[in-house]
Amino acid sequence: MNILLLGGTEFVGRHITQMAIDRGHNICLFNRCNNIDIFPDVLRYCGDRNSFGEATSGHNIDDSIKIIRPIDCVIDVSGYYRHHVKSILDYVESDYYIFISTINVTLPDSDYAYGKIGCEIEIMNRVKNFLIFRPKELCGEYDNTDRFDYSKWPDVYYKGDDIPISYIDIELFALTVISHMENKTVGIIQ
């Protein structure tokens, strides 16, 4: 499949990108290119999703989309506010959109959760074939959240706590995302 992955070099996105590559998919990353040394052979366009569709870093983003058209799937690991998703949907043509949300949308108690709710609403209102993941804690290699103590892996603890948490291993999560993409699963998974 031709995949446009928004993000793709940090924790969750990095694992999903690697899994997609391992499964033989054609990946194009759109991100701020902060980690340019990760996946050096993957087609990448630098930019900020707040200005999607504008020329950035010497590339016109429209050119990047033309290279991988048709886009079979957008995988969005970096949408935090409704306008992030809206800017992509206004510009990118794809009949399948996968969004990584959070279980926190079921009991919203923060700007983060409310932002993700806005993203979900935008997707549900505009995309016929969507898949929204609402994972609980994701843990594993390359975690940059600084929330967890991994010193007793595979047991994981919140920093400063001594009770192991229940979590989803990030590698299993990445496999799950790509497997559902390959099967064109639609709906909400939590």
Q: What are 147-181's pLDDT values in tens digits?
A: 999 999 999 999 999 999 999 999 999 999 999 99
- Quickly count: other Cβ atoms within 10 Å of residue 115's Cβ: 20
In a domain, residue 112? The reply is yes
Task: State the pairing for strand pair 157-158/148-149.
Answer: antiparallel
pLDDT for residue 34: 87
pLDDT for residue 52: 58
CATH number of the domain encompassing residue 177: 3.40.50.720
In a domain, residue 24? The reply is yes
Q: What is the pTM of this model?
A: 0.90
In a domain, residue 122? The reply is yes
In a domain, residue 55? The reply is yes
In a domain, residue 154? The reply is no
Q: How confident is the model at residue 90 (pLDDT cuts 50, 70, 90)?
A: confident
Q: Taking a C-beta distance cutoff of 8 angstroms, is the pair 82, 119 a contact? A: yes
Mean pLDDT score of the chain, rounded to an integer? 90
In terms of phi and psi (left: phi > 0; alpha: psi -120 to 50; beta: otherwise), the region of 21 is alpha
Distance CA 167, CA 157 (A): 10
Residue type, 63: D
Based on the structure, what is the number of domains in the chain?
1
Q: How confident is the model at residue 111 (pLDDT cuts 50, 70, 90)?
A: very high
- Span 21-64, pLDDT tens digits: 999 999 999 888 888 899 999 988 887 777 655 544 444 455 55
Q: Taking a C-beta distance cutoff of 8 angstroms, is the pair 126, 155 a contact? A: no
Range of the domain at 108: 2-140+168-189
In a domain, residue 118? The reply is yes
Q: Give percent of the chain with pLDDT exceeding 70.
A: 90
In a domain, residue 163? The reply is no
